[in-house]
Amino acid sequence: MSPQPALQLAYVEDDAVHALLMRAWMVRRPGWRLTVHMTATEALQAQSAGQLADLWLLDHQLPDLDGLSLLTRLRAASPVPLRVVLLSADTDPGLHARALQAGCLECWTKPIEVDALLAGIDRCVGPA
């Protein structure tokens, strides 16, 4: 039996502390590989260079583009369907509804605890 390929996660987050926490939390799942992009532009460039992700985690409030606009651009440039979760400190139920309508699998409110995050990723891509 051949080993399963690593789960590729792309996290678009401009807050260095949130990115650091996400990297630290990923040690709980050694089969997962995390790439952090600090801006929407960086994420779009990585995608156009061929970086694929099994799940995209998008912060909603980025300095150069909001998360839902980034989702639209990522999807337009992707040759395959994308699995996306929007993360936001905004608790507005309207944002959550717009995220789901835009095609996000889920919308998580920050701050999110590590166990909830890992369980959410499992829901979106299947157990590790």
For 24-36, what is the mean pLDDT? 94
Q: Whole-prediction pTM value?
A: 0.93
pLDDT band at 59 (very low <50, low <70, confident <90, very high): very high
Task: Provide the residue ranges of all domains of the chain, joining segments of one domain with +.
Answer: 7-123
Q: Hey, what are 86's tokens? A: 């929007």
Q: Hey, what are 103's tokens? A: 């095609």
pLDDT band at 126 (very low <50, low <70, confident <90, very high): confident
Predicted confidence (pLDDT) per residue in 93-108, tens digit? 899 999 999 999 999 9
The whole-number pLDDT of residue 2 equals: 46
- Whole-Å CA distances, 84 to 24, 46, 104, 119: 21, 16, 5, 15
CATH no. of 7-123: 3.40.50.2300
